Amino acid sequence: MALTLRSSTSFLSPLDPSSKLHKAEDAPPCCVSLPPVPGRATAATRRLRLARAAPVEHASASPETTLHGGGGGGGGGHGGGRRRGTPVYVMLPLDTVGPGGQLSRARALAASLMALRSAGVEGVMVDVWWGVVERESPGRYDWEAYAELVRMVERAGLRLQMVMSFHQCGGNVGDSCNIPLPGWVLEEMSSNPDMVYTDRSGRRNPEYISLGGDALPVLKGRTPIQVYSDYMRSFRDRFRDYLGNVIMEIQVGLGPCGELRYPSYPEANGTWRFPGIGEFQCYDKYMRASLQAAAQAAGHEEWGRSGPHDAGEYKQFPEETGFFRRDGTWSTEYGRFFLEWYSGMLLEHGDRVLAAAEAVFRGTGATISAKVAGIHWHYRTRSHAAELTAGYYNTRHHDGYAPIALMLARRGAVLNFTCMEMRDEQQPEHANCSPELLVQQVKAAARAARVELAGENALERYDESAFSQVVGTAGGAGLSAFTYLRMNKKLFDADNWRQFVSFVKAMADGGERAALPSCDTEHSDLYVGFLDAAKGNRTPEAAAAL
Active site residues: 259, 456
Q: What's the rounded Cα separation, in Å, for the pair 41 and 25?
A: 27
Q: What is the DSSP annotation of 80-144?
A: SB--SS--EEEEPPTTSB-TTS-BTTHHHHHHHHHHHHHTT--EEEEEEEHHHHT-SSTT----H
Is 198 one of the annotated binding-site residues? Answer: no
Please count the other Cβ atoms lying within 10 Å of the Cβ belonging to residue 148: 15
Q: Which helix (H) or strand (E) holds 368?
A: strand 367-372
Quick check: 542 and 107 in contact, CB under 8 A?
yes
Please count the other Cβ atoms lying within 10 Å of the Cβ belonging to residue 444: 15
Is 127 one of the annotated binding-site residues? Answer: yes
Is 509 one of the annotated binding-site residues? Answer: no
Quick check: 81 and 64 in contact, CB under 8 A?
yes
Q: What's the rounded Cα separation, in Å, for the pair 424 and 541?
A: 42
Is 220 one of the annotated binding-site residues? Answer: no
Q: What's the rounded Cα separation, in Å, for the pair 93 and 332?
A: 45
Count, residues in the chain: 546
Residues of 121-144 as b/e, b for ≥16 C-beta within 10 angstroms? Answer: bbbbbbbbbbbbbbbeeeeebebe
Please count the other Cβ atoms lying within 10 Å of the Cβ belonging to residue 74: 18
Is 486 one of the annotated binding-site residues? Answer: yes
Report helix, strand or coil for 502. helix
Burial class (CB in 10 A: 0-12, 13-18, 19+), 336: middle
Is 175 one of the annotated binding-site residues? Answer: yes
Closest CA to 20 of 457, 490, 460: 490
Burial class (CB in 10 A: 0-12, 13-18, 19+), 108: buried
Is 376 one of the annotated binding-site residues? Answer: yes
DSSP class of residue 173 equals T
Quick check: 494 and 462 in contact, CB under 8 A?
no
Closest CA to 455 of 473, 433, 468: 473
Is 371 one of the annotated binding-site residues? Answer: yes
Q: What's the rounded Cα separation, in Å, for the pair 490 and 426?
A: 22
Q: What's the rounded Cα separation, in Å, for the pair 276 and 264?
A: 10
Angle between helices 464-477 and 435-449 in degrees, nearest 10 = 20
Q: List residues forming the annotated binding site for substrate.
A: 127, 167, 175, 371, 376, 418, 457-458, 486
Q: List residues forming the annotated binding site.
A: 127, 167, 175, 371, 376, 418, 457-458, 486
